[in-house]
Every structure is written in C-alpha cells, then in structure tokens.
Amino acid sequence: MRTQVAIIGAGPSGLLLGQLLHKAGIEAVIVERQSGDYVLGRIRAGVLEQVTMDLLDEAGVGRRMHQEGLIHGGFDMLFKGQRHRIDMNKLTGGKNVMVYGQTEVTRDLMDARQAAGLTTIYEAANVQVHDFDTKNPRVTWEKDGKTHELQCDFIAGCDGFHGVCRASAPRNAIREYEKVYPFGWLGLLSDTPPVHHELIYANSERGFALCSMRSETRSRYYLQVPLTDKVEHWSDQAFWDELRLRLDPEAREHLVTGPSIEKSIAPLRSFVTEPLRFGRMFLAGDAGHIVPPTGAKGLNLAATDVKYLFNGLVEYYQDKSEAGIDRYSELALKRIWRAERFSWWFTTLMHRFPENGEIGQKLQEAELDYIIHSEAGSRSVAENYVGLPLDFGS
C-alpha cells in the first residue's frame, strides 16, 4: 500500500490533519492501534480557542459544533470565598472560546472521514516506523495475523505521549523537558445542569477546584487531590461534599448533584520534546508536548501543530517548496512554549502547594487580587486564555 502522508494515531490531531489534507487533495492513510470505540470513549477537555474553531470550519466539520457548542465570553476566578469575572470578550476585542467536548470533535472528524470513504486502519498491532531519515519512509503493523506495510512520502506522528513515533526518534537527536506536579485532578462527569453558565476556577485553602461543563445538561467537575489518592476511595457523595467546601456560598446553593457517569484521576505534567521533526517524520499534539489541563491548552495546541504541518505539506505538494516543512518545528515550538508557560503559571497560581505553607497561599491570593483589579493583569490572562494569534511574535 502507498500514500502521500501516513498519519499515526486517530485522535483529534490525526483526524484533523487527515481531513485538512483530504480537502487539499493530498492522500493520507491513518493507522491507529486502538479501536474506534476506544478512541471515542476517552474523556478529555472541551474548551476550544477561536483558532481551533476556524480550523474545524476549514476542515468542513464545524456545523454541529456551531449548533451545539456553548460560546463563553468570560470565566470566574474564585479566591478568598469570592468570585471575580474575567471578561475575555471585552479585554481581547471581541474574542471568545467555545465549550464543545473533545469527544464530539473526534466524532465529527470520524464521521466526515467515513463519509468521504477515506482509509483508517483501527486495531493495528505492533505499529513501527521505518526509514524516516530517507526519502522513502515506511510504516508497518500487524492485523488479522498478517504484517502490512504502508509506503509514504512523510509520516505524521499524532500518536500521543506513549506512541511509537517519538520513541523511534534517535536518542542523540532529541531533547525532552518535563515537570511533574505533586498532585492530580479528580474529575467527575454527571448529567446535571452546570452550577454556573461559565467556568469557575477556584483557589481555596483546601486545594484547587474547577466547575466546567459539556452542555447545558452535562457537567464536569474537578478537584485537586494528592497523587496517592485512588479513585475507588472517592464516593460520589465524598466528591460533592468536598467540592462544596471549595466553592463560594452562591455556587454551593446552586450546585445540583447526581450520580457520576465517569470518574477518574489524571496526573499533571508539563512536557516538551525538541525538535518536532526527524527527517520525514513529524510529531504533533501529545506526541510532542503535554500541558497541565489548567487553561485548556492541550487540544488547542494540537490543532495549531496540525495547522503549521498542514501548511507545510500543502506548500511541498502544490508549490514544490520545502520551506514550510523546514520551519514546522520552529513555528510550532514557539507557540508550544508560550502555552506551556501560561499553563504552568496558571497551575502554580490556582493550586495548593503544601510545601509552600501559609505564605504560599497568601502570595497566591495577593497575585489574584492584583490580576482582578488591574486591567493589564486581567487582559494578560484573557489574551492567553482565548489563545494567542498564530502569527503572534513572528
């Protein structure tokens, strides 16, 4: 089998790249080690920046997003028992974000790919990448008792943090940066109306909390917990009781509880790989970087990686120029590090670090007080939250 671009991974970054390439008349085959149902079953974030919304429109899959997504022009920051709104729309000249679950983005992209009759190989075992340092890269995998081979011009590694693509890069050509945080997020999904029409980020002496949503009838809540905690030790009632203790009186009064649909604990880390290109293999999305979920940058960073890579591939095939693919790593990493900085800063601002003691809490509260009373401070938070422009600082 032969194609122009072999995409490893059928998550949102791989599917989005495949759809954009299809629209541009460039052939791509996606190879995924899991089943389609497994990919759709992963619970992930759901706050989309404008640049991501624009990309989904460009890919031709934005119709349902615009029908069902919830536009948010601001969010609340809660500290010392009081909430303060960051008016993103006003502070950024009219920009917003949209709440639309990553599962729904993935479903829309899967449906579009299936409708176009494009090739996606699910449940591919022992996926391997070969010869990406030559002009004739290959991908092999095993399925139905047979070994299969896909020849291609380029390999796009969209296979996540534990994928084969980054692991296959030569160790002497790659550098990895990582920070692991001493806590995780205990998340609960429930079919209950959200406590508030916009997100609430809470800094409390008991730890961080986030009130989010997937729709007007489905809510997603998070609590900062020690890494030693086990999800089975948290009953639904214990979760709701602890959440109430971290909210303000008004939110406690409006909180509607119910049985959990899904409950899990996710560790937090900041991680970046440099570079993102190895010969004719490129890394995109979680294969190249991880951000803490504070600020919702993960999916949006993956989408902008895809945009830079897509532009470079179009330039290669249509203009016979390698300038775009040569600059891919540089352009993507510049944006990645800016988002990493914001996610790290927002995480350190909103979470409880016991080793910092009472003075740490007081310093956080002082910085939060400055942010909400300073237009410049509020604007900085708003600009980063809605997403910096693709050409920012270029």
Per-residue HEC secondary structure of 81-108 comes to: CEEEEECHHHHCCCCCEEECCHHHHHHH
Catalytic pick from 100, 181, 196, 201? Answer: 201
Catalytic pick from 12, 72, 95, 328? Answer: 72
**Confidence (pLDDT) at 46:** 83
- Give all domains of the chain, ordered by start, each with its CATH number: 5-70+97-177+268-351 (3.50.50.60)
Band of residue 7 on the pLDDT scale cut at 50, 70, 90: very high
Amino acid symbol at 63? R
Active-site residue, 292 included: no
Q: Per the confidence metrics, is the pTM higher than 0.75? A: yes
Catalytic pick from 95, 289, 297, 307? Answer: 297
For residue 41, pLDDT beyond 90: no
Active-site residue, 385 included: yes
Per-residue pLDDT reduced to its tens digit, 254-277: 999 999 999 999 999 999 999 999
For residue 393, pLDDT beyond 70: no
Active-site residue, 201 included: yes
Per-residue pLDDT reduced to its tens digit, 104-147: 999 999 999 999 999 999 999 999 999 999 999 999 999 999 99
For residue 21, pLDDT beyond 90: yes
Quote the strand ranges of the chain, DSSP E. Answer: 5-8, 28-31, 47-48, 70-72, 75-79, 82-86, 97-99, 120-121, 125-130, 138-143, 146-151, 154-157, 175-190, 200-203, 209-213, 219-226, 260-274, 277-278, 281-283, 289-290
Active-site residue, 297 included: yes
Per-residue pLDDT reduced to its tens digit, 66-89: 999 999 999 999 999 999 999 999
Catalytic pick from 196, 293, 307, 317? Answer: 293
Active-site residue, 320 included: no
Helix (H, G, I), strand (E, B) or coil at 187: strand
